[in-house]
Structures are given as C-alpha cells and as structure tokens.
Amino acid sequence: MAGERVYLYDTTLRDGAQTQGVSFTSDEKAAIALELDRIGVDHIEGGWPGANPTDDAFFARPPRLMAATLTAFGMTRRSGRSAANDPGLQTLIQSPARAICLVGKSWDFQVDVALGIPRDENLRIIEDSVAAVHAAKGEALFDAEHFFDGFKANPGYALECLKAAHAGGARWLVLCDTNGGTLPDEIERIVAAVAERLPGAGLGIHCHNDTGNAVANSLAAVRAGVRMVQGTLNGLGERCGNANLVTLIPTLMLKMGYTTGIRNLAGLTAISRGFDQRLNRIPDRYAPYVGASAFAHKGGLHASAVEKNPACYEHVDPAKVGNKRTVLISDQAGRSNVLTRLVDLGIDYDAKDPRVDQLVELIKQRDVAGYAYDEADASFEMLVRRRLGQVPVYFKLEQVDVNNVLQYDDQGEVRTRSLAVVRLRFGNRAEDLITEAADGTGPVHALDLALRKALEPRYPLIKDIRLEDFRVHIINAERGTDAMPRVLIRNGRDGKDDWWTFGVSPSIIEASAEALLDAFIYELYRSGVDAKYR
C-alpha cells in the first residue's frame, strides 16, 4: 500500500560486476559503496567473500558506511557437510559483513539435476545454513534461486524452500526471477499467492531483464506485497542486466507513493551519470528520469505547451530527480523552441529583431543539411551568439593542410604517418600570422595537435580542454564514398560541464576542424577569456 516502507538492496558490486566488459577493483567497490550509502540505499551487497581476490580484498578493508547494511553474498552449505564444517559458509560468517544473503535452490528441477540430491535434503540445507547465519549475524536473507520457474513447475516444493528459510530465521525471503523470463502478470499472481500462504514473512524480489521487464516485474511484485527490491545502478548485470534501481527508486516514490531510505532523490541523476563515467561509458541519453533526453522537447507544439505549463508533456518535475528540461533545436523547431533556448542560455534578445526569425530559418535549413543541433548544444550557442554579434574574434583560421603517407613493407603491412599544418592569424601585422605543424596517429589527431600548438601560447586555457569522445556519423550513406560525414565531439575540462560540438562537410578534415574550433571558442567565451586578436 502507498505510504508503506520499501527497502532497497543494491547488488551492483556483485551481480552488476558480472556485466560483460565490467570489472571493479576493491578500491572502486569501496568508493561505489560509499556513494550508495550517501543516497540512502538500505543494503549494499559487497560481493562474495572467498570467491575471488577482489572480493576478499574488499571485505578485508570494508568501507565505513553511515547507515547502509554491508551484506555478503554466498551459498548455503554443501551436501554432506554441517554448517559448522562448511568452509564456504564459515568464510561468510567470519566476514565483517553485518548481514549475509544466502542463495539456494527452490526449483525441483535444479535440485534433481544441478545438485543431484534428495529434495528433503535441500530443505535441510537451506534451514541449517540460514539458522547458522542468523545466529552469527542476526540478519539473514535467502535468495530463492529460480523461484518463479520453480513455482510454476511445482508450487508446493518452491513454497517448502521458502518455509525452510523462514524457519531458519531469514528476515527476507527474496523471490528470484533468475532466468529473467517471467512476465509482470505472472509475477504479481505468484507473489500474491506466496504472501497469502506465508503471512508475516518479509518478501523481496530479484529480477533480471531478459524480456525487458525487470523494472515492471519488480513493481508488480511490490503491488502484490513485496517490501524489499533488489537491483543495480543503471541496470548492470549479466546477460541483459538486473532491475534498474535508478528507474525503480523515483517510480516507487513519485508514482506509487512508497517511502524509502533515499535521502537525496535530487542527486539521482548525478549518481547515475557519475557511475557511467566511472565505467568509461557514455550515459544513456534515453534513460527514464535521468537521461539527457528524458525531459527534452523537440516538436514546436510540445515546446510551446511546455513553456506555458511543463505538465503538458512532462510526467514529473525533472528537478525532483536532479535532471533538467531541454528544448531541442531542429528542422521541426518552431519559433518558440528557439526563443526558449535563448532564455535558457541567458541570451538577451528583442523578439522583434528580424535576426531572430532569420535564425529560426537558418537552423531549419542547416538541420536538413546535417547540422543536428539537438546533439551539440555548444555549437548551437556559438551559432546564435555569432549571429547576434556577441562572440569576439579570438583568431582566424586561414589554412589547413593535412597529408597522410601510407608506407607498405614487403609483407604488405602498412604504417601511416599524418602531418597537419595550420595557419592562424591573431592580428593584421605580419608577425601575427602563425604557422604550426604536428605529426599524429591519424589526420584528425594531427590536426588537433597542430591547432593546440598554435593556440596554447596565446590562450593557455586550451591546454585544459580534453577531447573525451569522437564520433563520425554518415548522413547519406547511400551515396557511398561521396557520403557526407558529421563529426561530433564531446569535450571536457576540470570543474566544467562537458560540452558537445560538431562539424559537417564532405571532407572529414573540414568537419573535424569545425568541431574542434567550436569547442575551443566555446570554452574561451564562457570562461570570459579576453580575445588576443589585434
């Protein structure tokens, strides 16, 4: 029921670490755990002590958490051993974790085939193991692996597994959709049946996203009586991932009216994007609530309505999750889009200024030509401010010459050498014309180095600008080698937000030069650097 408390259990450091291409050091795990603790997650699953050196190192020096319960994950005791004589279980118990989550089989098929033991013995293993953890730690959780598949095959046995864990003292009985194949209506029906047959038991949910329903399944489980939700930051996890806590948290709080331990919901966007940066991933711009496009409005009709009342096209206030509204500029943009963006940028303008209408038409024409300004805010701002005469002349690019030499050896192996020569003017005197050259691993790299070599002595700030992402989009691929490339680059500088610029040209060198120069000029302008052009 709305208003009730739902507990949040994060398994990013264990289940999330099973994501293809993702690995954490013990120090990274500690840093992530502290971030999760700060926002108010109830349980943080740090990993599996005894399973690998990284998790051993993490639990050897666990982070000092303020409020969250550091939890260790592991297996129930093995067949043929007592709880006291099972090395794996004892390693868990001896860890500094305040709680332990044990995984055990709840599908008779798995017990018969994977474990190869009598079903009654599996029940004794579950109860004994949970009881040992409960006695040692005070808080035990039981992850009922493959529970929904098991319930559909043999509901009586699946429930017996839960009863065994409950008899052992488990605080939470976590129903796991391990294969990720159960659908929301099934989840809700089965959880309701479990809640009816186990009154008073604390039920949790652990969903995988193999049908794209992990969040929906988790919410269905909450509606049916679950009060603990397990998931990961940004939906990390093996195969298709786990339930995404970043989506679940605001949905539970803002849409369903439940309370959680989250202390700073407005910090959610920063947590999500910062986590992606830690993984060297580009944040999903289409992610619910926290994506850059989550509150982006492109159509002129939408932008006009949102300007009057955001509720016309927004389901929540973006500020509640730390995001912001964005009005996009494209060939679909109306005059209201452009005017709204000018206000957002803090640009003073006269609505009757004919240059405003000219700007709207120019943007539409350029969008058709490949200049997608909704992808590059910094290039859009530079276009507008130049048209309104607000950008000083920092320099003038007079010439670019880029040469590539391909050298082949006797085996046909090739070595490429790129040389870029740039000529920039910083004034009208002869000595103000500067020529610089640089070698690079490719033509764009050489161009970037040559431009920096010419600019940095006069504008030292350029040294701090980092090119963090470089992409080439082909606008009209059907034209083959005559296609038009669009170069899009993301730039960064310590203490500043990242910014995107782009260039469009039949020549990838020209497109790259346009994007690079926009990036440099944008940061010079917003940093208030005086122009050196004389």
CATH code of the domain in which 232 resides: 3.20.20.70
Residue 91, judged by CB atoms within 10 A of its CB (0-12, 13-18, 19+), counts as: middle
Cβ partners under 8 Å of residue 308, min gap 6: none
Q: What is the pLDDT of residue 501?
A: 94
Same domain as 317, residue 224: no
Residues of the chain with pLDDT under 50: none
Q: What is the pLDDT of residue 285?
A: 85
Q: Partners of 213 in the beta sheet?
A: none
Q: What is the pLDDT of residue 333?
A: 53
Tell me, yes or no, whether 282 lies in a domain. no
Q: Partners of 421 in the beta sheet?
A: 401, 437
d(CA 455, CA 434): 9
Do 240 and 207 contact (CB within 8 A), yes or no? no
End-of-domain residue from the set 359, 387, 415: 387
**CATH code for the domain in which residue 476 is found:** 3.30.160.270
Tell me, yes or no, whether 216 lies in a domain. yes
What single DSSP character describes residue 484?
Answer: P
Same domain as 351, residue 212: no
Same domain as 175, residue 110: yes
d(CA 70, CA 367): 51
Q: How many domains does the chain have?
A: 3
d(CA 270, CA 245): 14
Tell me which residue has tokens 């006291």. 84
Q: Which of 500, 511, 510, 483 is nearest to 373 (CA)?
A: 500
Same domain as 361, residue 241: no
Same domain as 477, residue 373: no
Q: What is the pLDDT of residue 338?
A: 74
d(CA 238, CA 19): 4
Same domain as 452, residue 403: yes
Tell me, yes or no, whether 224 lies in a domain. yes
d(CA 504, CA 83): 67
Tell me, yes or no, whether 159 lies in a domain. yes
Q: What is the pLDDT of residue 480?
A: 72
Joined together, the tokens standing for residue 440 give 């690079």
Q: Is 108 helix (H, G, I), strand (E, B) or coil?
A: helix
Same domain as 436, residue 515: yes
Q: Which domain holds residue 241?
A: 7-263
Joined together, the tokens standing for residue 28 give 């990274």
Tell me, yes or no, whether 482 lies in a domain. yes
Joined together, the tokens standing for residue 509 give 């060198």
Same domain as 483, residue 339: no
Q: What is the dihedral of CA 179, 185, 187, 191, to 10 degrees?
A: -160
Tell me which residue has tokens 């990013």. 12
d(CA 102, CA 165): 10
β-pair type (228-231, 7-10): parallel
Tell me, yes or no, whether 353 lies in a domain. yes
End-of-domain residue from the set 358, 387, 416: 387
Q: What is the pLDDT of residue 302?
A: 56
Q: What is the pLDDT of residue 298?
A: 66
d(CA 310, CA 301): 12
End-of-domain residue from the set 209, 240, 263: 263
Type of residue found at 5: R
Q: What is the pLDDT of residue 303?
A: 55
CA distances from 274 to 46, 113, 211, 269 (A): 19, 43, 27, 8
Q: Is 201 helix (H, G, I), strand (E, B) or coil?
A: coil
Same domain as 512, residue 423: yes
Tell me, yes or no, whether 184 lies in a domain. yes
Tell me, yes or no, whether 287 lies in a domain. no
Cβ partners under 8 Å of residue 406, min gap 6: 414, 415, 416
499-504, strands of its sheet edge to edge: 466-474, 485-492, 499-504
Q: What is the dihedral of CA 270, 276, 282, 284, to 10 degrees?
A: -70
Same domain as 313, residue 191: no
d(CA 332, CA 15): 43
Same domain as 122, residue 102: yes
Do 143 and 72 contact (CB within 8 A), yes or no? no
Same domain as 325, residue 404: no
